[in-house]
């Protein structure tokens, strides 16, 4: 797996198995002891064929000089364990909570993508004391406001093919090969295919070809992990910023705007990036870095009552 310079691989043992994460604990950033003295940023990847912490690898090194950076491969993805099971949203909410409890000593800023970002919102609702702030890209449970991914033709086909032999064939033919990975990235994640270069395809393919990688991937494809985030968003109290690519497939930026309107006290910022798709952190990493740097101090400023701050900013 691709690991940026200055980062090392670490592991923890969770209820679901061994979890690998990457930490800024090497030269030139810091020794392990020095890193522990810094504020922590946690970067959580989204889901798709071959997803892993690589998704944020063009962004998180930019913060390593000032923060203790952690970027895990979630259970079922990357180099972490891949239990042979059907995954549910509650599993990943528990995994996120356990990771933060095991690796962070206090409230932490979490930067998360897509469906994982939606799980992170629910984790922040369940245990707000673990979170300092949230920055999320394309945050959706994929079942909001009548746009339910589970009713799509691809999800229904995957549900119909949910028997071991057919599932394995579907995964091998549609995901775990270079053509399948590139097609997924072009159709689902990038607004401009010319921004997809060989390293991205190789990193996704390596993750997709790990033993038992099909279990988490097919749980995602079938829609087993989907839920309606709008039913929970009003309970969020952690300061949050949303970043959304204008060219995001299935869940357009109007979903993010409506979620913000449901809880403007917690969701302080909504920013739409033009000419980018589902994963701005891969497609336009420099812009994503700039936005995160801009939003961090705004979210971490002292909380005041809405009546004292006037209208919330829009970008």
Provide the 8-state DSSP code for 246: T
The predicted pLDDT at position 158 comes to 59
Is residue 247 classed as helix, strand or coil in its secondary structure? coil
Q: Which CATH architecture has domain 8-309?
A: 3-Layer(aba) Sandwich (3.40)
- 78 φψ region: left (φ > 0), alpha (ψ -120 to 50), beta (else): left
Residue 225 CB partners (closer than 8 Å, separation 6+):
47, 87, 88, 89, 92, 115, 142, 219
Residue 72, pLDDT score:
98
* The predicted structure's pLDDT at residue 176: 79
Residue-by-residue pLDDT tens, the chain, 315 positions = 789 999 999 999 999 999 999 999 888 997 777 777 899 999 999 998 899 999 999 999 999 999 999 999 999 999 999 999 999 999 999 999 999 999 999 999 999 999 999 999 999 999 999 999 999 999 999 889 887 666 766 555 556 556 565 667 777 767 779 998 999 899 889 999 999 999 999 999 999 999 999 999 989 988 899 999 999 999 999 999 999 999 887 788 999 999 999 999 999 999 999 999 999 999 999 999 999 999 999 998 854 444 333 344 444
Is this structure's pTM higher than 0.85?
Answer: yes
Distances (CA, A) of 219 to 48, 106, 263: 10, 32, 30
Could you tell me the residue ranges of all domains in the chain?
8-309
């Amino acid at each position: 797996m691709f690991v940026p310079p200055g980062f090392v691989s670490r592991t923890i043992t969770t209820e679901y198995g061994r979890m690998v994460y990457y930490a800024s604990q090497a030269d030139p950033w810091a020794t392990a002891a020095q890193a522990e003295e810094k504020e922590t940023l946690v970067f959580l990847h989204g889901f798709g064929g071959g997803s892993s912490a690589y998704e944020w690898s063009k962004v998180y090194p930019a913060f390593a000089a000032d923060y203790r950076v952690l970027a895990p491969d979630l259970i079922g993805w990357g180099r972490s364990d891949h239990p042979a099971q059907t995954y549910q949203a509650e599993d990943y909410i528990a995994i996120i909570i356990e990771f933060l409890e095991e690796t962070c000593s206090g409230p932490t800023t979490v930067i998360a993508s897509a469906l994982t970002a939606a799980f992170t919102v629910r984790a922040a609702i369940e245990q707000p004391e673990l979170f300092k702030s949230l920055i999320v890209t394309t945050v959706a449970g994929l079942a909001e406001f009548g746009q339910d991914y589970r009713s799509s033709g691809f999800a229904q086909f995957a549900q119909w093919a949910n028997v071991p032999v057919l599932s394995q064939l579907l995964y091998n033919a549609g995901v775990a090969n270079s053509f399948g990975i590139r097609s997924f990235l072009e159709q689902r994640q990038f607004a401009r295919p010319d921004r997809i270069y060989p390293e991205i395809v190789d990193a996704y393919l390596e993750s997709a070809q790990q033993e038992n990688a099909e279990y988490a991937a097919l749980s995602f494809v079938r829609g087993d992990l989907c839920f309606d985030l709008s039913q929970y968003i009003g309970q969020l109290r952690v300061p949050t910023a949303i970043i959304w690519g204008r060219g995001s497939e299935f869940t357009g930026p109007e979903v993010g705007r409506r979620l913000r309107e449901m809880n403007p006290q917690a969701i302080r910022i909504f920013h739409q990036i033009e000419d980018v798709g589902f994963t701005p952190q891969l497609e336009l990493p420099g812009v994503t870095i700039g936005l995160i740097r801009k939003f961090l101090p705004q979210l971490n400023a002292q909380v005041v009552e809405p009546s004292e701050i006037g209208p919330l900013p829009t970008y």
